[in-house]
Structure 1
Amino acid sequence: MLQILQSERFKRWQTALKNRQAVLRINARLERLRAGNFGDTNICAMASASSELTQLAKDTGLARESLYKALSAEGNPEFATIMKVAKALGLSFSPGRA
Structure 2
Amino acid sequence: MPKIYVTDWSGDTHEIEGRPGATLMETIRKAGIDDLAAICGGCCSCATCHVYVDEAWLGKLPDREDDEYELLSDSVHYQEQSRLSCQIPLSDALDGLKVTVAPEE
What interval of TM-score do these two structures reach, taking the shorter chain for normalisation? 0.3 to 0.5
Q: Which structure has the highest strand share of the two?
A: 2
Q: What is the TM-score with the length of structure 2 in the denominator?
A: 0.32
Q: Which structure has the highest helix share of the two?
A: 1
In our comparison, the structure showing a higher alpha carbon Rg is: 1
Q: What is the TM-score with the length of structure 1 in the denominator?
A: 0.33
